[in-house]
Amino acid sequence: MKNDYRARNHPAWWAFAVHRASGILLAFFLPLHFWALAQALQGAESLDGFLRWTEQPLVKFAECGLVLLLGAHLCGGLRLLLIEFLPWHDHQKSLLAIAGGASVVIGLAFALNVV
């Protein structure tokens, strides 16, 4: 039982959890994304109304969260590819830190661009 707790306290487990959670949350977002794209098929007025709705501050905040999720999932996936296809090294924790830092930088860069 004690070993299970230590395994979940390891940075690699947290990287797995963030990668999995970001993937699930992005999968929940996908139908909303398709619905938004379908507004263009309804006509210009429908799309313009939707685009006006997206100018709300809460929607902008949600977009920043979405980009942070995308960055976390992208960087976590790249880290997994490096682990899978490159020889094993002792610097795996460094890859975790780089992946986490890069995802935060991606999210903050988007947030600064939105404001």
Residue ranges per domain, the chain? Answer: 2-114
Cα 27 from Cα 29, distance rounded (Å): 5
The yes-or-no verdict on residue 20 having pLDDT over 90 is yes
Interval 44-100: pLDDT, tens: 898 899 889 989 999 988 988 898 899 889 888 888 887 888 777 777 777 778 888
Contacts of 5 (CB under 8 A, 6+ apart): none
What fold does the segment set 2-114 form as a domain? 3 helical TM bundles of succinate and fumarate reductases (1.20.1300)
pTM: 0.72
Cα 66 from Cα 87, distance rounded (Å): 32
